[in-house]
């Protein structure tokens, strides 16, 4: 596609429910990142994929959060037993993923998650 | 670990005037990269400008330029001839190149208002 897309745009759920957030990166981008942006804050890193593998998941806040990228393209961020503190905008970004220099990350429009 | 500080939560500028947004950062690495991203109400982060730390020359992109002071760990953004479309949140970010893992560390942002 022309850019990074994320679905849904908005998600409202109840405390304790399970949610899945989807990211469709730019075609050909091997690197994919998830960030979380709480109200009034800058985005915070959650997890990084290179191809199909999660190369760095050090930003995931706890084991209720999990992400996959089974075919090296689309990624899904999964949150179990949601809590009100999980309410935030979840941003996805992709980049070429080369090892020379630093590639620009292109961001999607984000998913706004609201946990009631 | 990297840290980024943006000490100006809000700034305003008259249309067609010049404004400078401040950013300071901290890193123990010698090879790092700095970015300014713009986030309009649509939530999508858009790259404004980037600077490689090893380059002494300040980056410029049309009306946008940076003042990179490596010793002071300062990376300010200057917007010339401000336009209404420049109104947005602006985030400063830093990353290091770590075998492909280029996760960004962001500041808390500066909200820029353009006064017609």
Contacts of A114 (CB under 8 A, 6+ apart): A10, A11, A12, A13, A87
Is the pLDDT at A7 greater than 90? The verdict is yes
The count of structural domains within chain B is 1
Q: What is the pLDDT of residue B96?
A: 86
Q: B47 and A56: CB-CB below 8 Å?
A: no
What is the tens place of the pLDDT at every residue in B2-31? 999 999 999 999 999 999 999 999 999 888
Query: Mind telling me how many Å the CA of A97 is from chain B's nearest CA?
Result: 6
Q: B42 and A109: CB-CB below 8 Å?
A: yes
**CATH code, domain carrying B27:** 2.60.40.10
- Name the residue facing A102 among B33, B42, B45 (closest C-beta): B33
- Across chain B, which distance is largest between two alpha carbons, in Å? 46
CATH, domain range A5-98: 2.60.40.10
Of B46 and B101, the structure prediction assigns the larger pLDDT to B46
Using a 10 angstrom Cβ sphere, with 0-12 exposed, 13-18 middle and 19 or more buried, the burial of residue B49 is: buried
Domain segments of chain A: what residues? 5-98
Which residue segment(s) compose the domain that B66 sits in? Answer: 3-115
């Amino acid at each position: 596609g022309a850019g990074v897309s994320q679905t849904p745009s908005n998600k409202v759920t109840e405390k304790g429910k399970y949610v899945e957030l989807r990211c469709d990166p730019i075609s050909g981008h091997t690197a994919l990142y998830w960030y979380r942006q709480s109200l009034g804050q800058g985005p915070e890193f959650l997890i990084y994929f290179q191809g199909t593998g999660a190369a760095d998941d050090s930003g995931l806040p706890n084991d209720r959060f999990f992400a996959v990228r089974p075919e090296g393209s689309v990624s899904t961020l999964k949150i179990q037993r949601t809590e009100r503190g999980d309410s935030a905008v979840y941003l996805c970004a992709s980049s070429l993923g080369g090892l020379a220099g630093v590639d620009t990350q292109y961001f999607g429009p984000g998913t706004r998650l609201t946990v009631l | 670990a990297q840290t980024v500080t943006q000490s100006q939560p809000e700034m305003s500028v008259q249309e067609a005037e010049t404004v400078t947004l401040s950013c300071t950062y901290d890193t123990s690495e010698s090879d790092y990269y700095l970015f300014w991203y713009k986030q309009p109400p649509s939530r999508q982060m858009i790259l404004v400008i980037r600077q490689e730390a090893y380059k002494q020359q300040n980056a410029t992109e049309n009306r946008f330029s940076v003042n990179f002071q490596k010793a002071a760990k300062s990376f300010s953004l200057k917007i010339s001839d401000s336009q209404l479309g420049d109104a947005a949140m602006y985030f400063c970010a830093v990353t290091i190149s770590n075998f492909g893992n280029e996760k960004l560390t962001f500041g808390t942002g500066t909200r820029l208002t353009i006064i017609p």
